[in-house]
Amino acid sequence: MTLPKPDKVGGLLATALVASLLALPFVGLQPNRILPGEALGLLSAAGVTGLWPLLLLPLCLFNRALPLRLTLTAAALPLLLYSAGHTASALLDNAGPLARVSLGAGFWLGMFWLSLLITDTALRLKLGPSARLALVAVLTGAVLALLASGGCDDLSLLREFHNRSDFWQQGLRHLQLALGSIIPAVLAGIPLGIACHRSPGLRAALFPVLNILQTVPSLAMFGLLMVPLSLLATAYPWLGELGIRGIGAAPAVIALFLYSLLPIVSNTALGFDRVSPPVREAATAMGMSRRQRLWQVEFPLALPVILSGLRVVVTLNIGLVAVAALVGGGGYGTYIFQGLGQTATDLVILGALPTLLLAFLFAMLIDTLIALQQGFRE
C-alpha cells in the first residue's frame, strides 16, 4: 500500500491555523469601547465546538482530495466569522450595556492562514482566471450575506459600522479619489510611455523626474501641494468654488496622479520595447500605416505589461487615499485617524479593512483581465 504524499506547505499552513485559533485570544470582552478587557480563546469562548478547525488538519497534511480541501477551507472562512459573532452574542448576554466584544489576534491570524490555504489550494488545482474570480465572488457574497443577516451585529466592529451612517459615502469618496487620479494618469501616462519608447532622449530626461516624484513621502507631497493650492484659491476665488483648495480632494488627487505616472509610463515603454522587431516588420510589409501598426499590433502585445503597471498603481493609490484623509480628502482613512485619536481599535479596523479589501479586489480583477488577454492571444 502506497502512503499519500505529504503536503509540506498545506500541513504547515493548517498547523499554523489550528495553533493560532487554539492558542491565541479569539475574542476580547471589554467593559466599554476603549478600555482593554478579558481575552478569551476559542475553546473557552465556544466550548468543544471550537475544536472544528482540527477537522481541516487531515485534509491539509497530505497532497490529495484538493477539491474537497478547497471546498472546506472556503466554507471555513464564513464559519469562522459566524463563530466570532455567535460567541459575541453569548458573551454579551450577561455583560453590562456598554460592554463590547472585539476580535482577537487568533481570529485575524486564523483568517490570514485560511486565506493562504485557499490560495495555495486554488493554485495547485490550476484554476483559470474566471474560476478564481468566481471563487472570490462566492466567498465575498457569503461573508456579506452573513453580515447582512445580523448574525455578527454584537461584534464591536459591526457596532462601529452601524454607528457610522456615512460608511458607504466614505467608500464612494475613497473610490472617487483613487480612480479620479488614475484615469488622468492613464490618459497622460500611456502616450508619454509610447513617446519614451520612441525617443531615448525623452526617456533619459523624464524617468529621473518621475523617479524623484516617486521617492517623495506621501505626507510631504500633500504638504508641498497645500501651499500653492491655497495661494491659488486665494488669488482666484472661483478656483476655490470649484473645490481647488489647499485642503480637501485637490491636493490628494494631484499627489496621487503624480505617484501614478512612473509605473504607467515605465510599463508602457517596457511593453512596447518587448514587441519583437520582426512583428513590426511583418505588419509594415502587410501595408499597415504607423497608426494601424500601433493600435492593431503593438498596443495589444504591450497591453499585459501596461496592465501590470496599472495593477501596481491601483493598489498603491487605494492605500495612499487613506493617508489623504489627513488633508481633508475623506475616504476610509477618516475612520483610521479618528480611531487612532480615540484609541478605538475597532474604528481603525473599520477604516483599514475595506481599504485592504478594495485593493485586493481591484488587483484580482486586473489579474483576471491580464490572464484573459493572454488567453485570447494564445
pLDDT tens-place string over residues 154-189: 999 999 999 988 999 999 999 999 999 999 999 999
Confidence of residue 133 (pLDDT cuts 50, 70, 90): confident
Rounded CA separation 347/358 (Å):
17
CA distances from 368 to 82, 117, 186 (A): 30, 20, 19
Domain end (from 148, 163, 178): 163
Q: Are residues 182 and 267 in the same domain?
A: yes
Q: Are residues 158 and 171 in the same domain?
A: no
pLDDT tens-place string over residues 74-124: 998 898 898 899 888 888 887 777 888 999 999 999 999 999 999 989 888
Among all chains, which residue has been given the C-alpha cell 519614451?
Answer: 196
Evaluated on CA atoms 312, 317, 322, 326, the torsion sign reads positive
Q: In terms of residue numbers, what domain contains 280?
A: 166-376
Q: Is residue 273 part of a domain?
A: yes
Q: Are residues 72 and 206 in the same domain?
A: no
Percentage of the chain modeled with pLDDT above 70: 97
Q: Are residues 223 and 354 in the same domain?
A: yes
- In the predicted structure, residue 48 carries a pLDDT above the cut 70: no
Its pTM stands at 0.84
Domain end (from 163, 192, 216): 163
Q: Are residues 154 and 186 in the same domain?
A: no
pLDDT tens-place string over residues 320-367: 899 888 888 889 999 999 999 888 889 999 999 999 999 999 988 888
Least confident of 79-93, 231-245, 247-261, 298-312: 231-245
Residues near 103 by beta carbon (within 8 Å), at least 6 away in sequence: 26, 27, 28, 84, 155, 156, 157, 349
- In the predicted structure, residue 376 carries a pLDDT above the cut 80: no
Q: Is residue 154 part of a domain?
A: yes
**Inter-residue contact 359 to 319 (CB < 8 Å):** yes
pLDDT score recorded for residue 187: 95
Confidence of residue 375 (pLDDT cuts 50, 70, 90): low
pLDDT score recorded for residue 132: 86
- CATH number of 345's domain: 1.10.3720.10
Q: Is residue 2 part of a domain?
A: no
- In the predicted structure, residue 1 carries a pLDDT above the cut 60: no
pLDDT score recorded for residue 3: 63
Q: Are residues 199 and 151 in the same domain?
A: no
- In the predicted structure, residue 378 carries a pLDDT above the cut 60: no
Residue 63: how many CA atoms within 13 Å on its side-chain side? 9
Q: Are residues 218 and 289 in the same domain?
A: yes
Calculate mean pLDDT across residues 20-43: 85
Domain end (from 163, 196, 220): 163
Least confident of 39-43, 98-102, 310-314: 39-43
Q: Are residues 221 and 353 in the same domain?
A: yes
Q: Are residues 170 and 151 in the same domain?
A: no
Q: Are residues 247 and 371 in the same domain?
A: yes
- In the predicted structure, residue 129 carries a pLDDT above the cut 90: no
Q: Are residues 51 and 187 in the same domain?
A: no
Provide the domain count of the chain.
2
Q: Is residue 22 part of a domain?
A: yes
Q: Is residue 3 part of a domain?
A: no
- In the predicted structure, residue 131 carries a pLDDT above the cut 90: no
**Inter-residue contact 335 to 326 (CB < 8 Å):** no
Count of Cβ atoms closer than 10 Å to residue 38 Cβ: 12
pLDDT score recorded for residue 305: 92
Q: Is residue 330 part of a domain?
A: yes
The closest alpha carbon to 340, from 355, 327, 350, 331, belongs to 350
Confidence of residue 53 (pLDDT cuts 50, 70, 90): confident
Q: Are residues 199 and 301 in the same domain?
A: yes
Calculate mean pLDDT across residues 259-272: 94
